[in-house]
Amino acid sequence: MNDSISLPNYNNIQGLLDAHLAQLQQRFGMSMWMITRLQGEELLILRVRDGTYGLHQGHRLEWQTSYCVRMVELGNARVVADTALNPIYQDAPINANLSIGAYIGLPLLDAQQQLFGTLCALDPEPQPEALANAQEALEHEAALISHLLNSAVRDARQQRLTTFIEHPDRCDLTGLPGPKGWNDILQQELGNTRDLGMQSSVLQLQGPEEADSEIIADSLAALLREQDSVAHLGDNRFAILLADTDHRNAQRAADRIRDALNAKQLLVRLQHRALTA
């Protein structure tokens, strides 16, 4: 038996997905492959292998102008060797910005079987007609990538909770993570935003100087969800991570927290912002 058997070693989900895109390109051609996440009316590029279009991780494409919206919402073809022969794709506004001669697009689904984003490939030149025969294999690849992404999102949410509960930097008064703990929580979530397209928001809360920090901390604990994190930065300054929360819902949460604390005669100042990598 060979004792020196080796396999590829991927340290994180990003390396694994990049290797997967490289294999897809080797098998099926196309000059650009990408994995996207749908956020509102935009497709956020999570991973990309691009030799033509100049797209990069973090680039955003308009959902309504894309080929992918026609693939998902209109049920248009998922594999198109020559887009000039497909009038629905030829009418897409994105053609004004990108030269697309061939297209592959498949939906990626989340753990609830809702649309997560897309696996997409483009090439400026038409491809051989035989590309259409690859649809079944490509659908299998999309299902596999969906599974990998769902596992990574689940692990990220568990690690977020673990960091909040177990971080060694704790405020002696409130028991919450302190400044270093907050910085690590924030950096971890920035990675989740960049690599997995997870949307979160940050609240900065300033309580009255004379207020009891423990009362504020206990009040916040009662108002926040299990997946949220809160840290005490000193002098009645608190930082809150609202996990999996977009800007609109963050505003609602901020209003709810402010009203609840004001009702206890704790007149706090709150600011909120979306977390962006």
Backbone angles phi, psi at 131, to 5 degrees: -60, -35
Domains of the chain, by residue range, sit at: 13-155, 167-274
> What is the β-pairing status of strands 79-80 and 115-123?
unpaired
* Tens digit of each residue's pLDDT (9 = 90 or more) over 48-70: 999 899 999 999 999 999 999 99
Helices 13-28 & 179-196 angle (0-180, nearest 10): 10
Beta carbons within 8 Å of 53's beta carbon, 6+ residues apart: 31, 32, 98, 122
How wide is the angle at C-alpha 152 spanned by C-alphas 138 and 136, nearest 5°?
Answer: 10
CATH topology of domain 167-274: Alpha-Beta Plaits (3.30.70)
For the stretch 77-86, what's the b/e string if a residue is b when 16 or more beta carbons lie within 10 angstroms of its beta carbon? bbbbbbbeeb
H and E: helices and strands count for the chain: 7, 10
More confident residue, 2 or 106: 106
> Taking every pair of C-alpha atoms in the chain, what is the biggest distance, in angstroms?
74
Could you tell me what percent of the chain has a pLDDT over 90? 91
- Per residue in 56-105, pLDDT (tens digit) is 999 999 999 999 999 999 999 999 999 999 999 999 999 999 999 999 99
Q: State yes or no: pLDDT of 190 exceeds 70.
A: yes
Q: Is 222 exposed, middle or buried (0-12, 13-18, 19+ CB in 10 A)?
A: exposed
Residue 243 has pLDDT above 80, yes or no: yes
pLDDT tens digits, one per residue of 113-147: 999 999 999 999 999 999 999 999 999 999 999 99
Among residues 212, 200, 182, 205, which one has the least CA distance to residue 254?
205
Cβ(16)–Cβ(61) below 8 Å:
no
225-238: per-residue pLDDT in tens? 999 999 999 999 99
DSSP E strands, the chain: 32-39, 42-50, 60-62, 79-80, 102-109, 115-123, 201-206, 229-234, 237-242, 269-274
pLDDT confidence of residue 3: 61
Rg of the chain over Cα atoms, rounded to whole angstroms, equals: 23
Q: Is the pLDDT of residue 2 over 70?
A: no
pLDDT at 108 over 70: yes
pTM: 0.91
Q: How high is the pLDDT of residue 213?
A: 95
Give the CATH class of 13-155.
alpha beta
Buried b / exposed e over 239-253, threshold 16 CB at 10 Å, is bbbbbbbeeeebeeb
Class of residue 214 by CB neighbours under 10 A (exposed 0-12, middle 13-18, buried 19+): middle
pLDDT on residue 8: 73
pLDDT category at 11 given cuts 50, 70, 90 is confident
Summary mean pLDDT of the chain? 94
Quote the DSSP letter at residue 36. E
Gap between the Cα atoms of 225 and 243, Å rounded: 9
pLDDT exceeds cutoff 90 at 43: yes
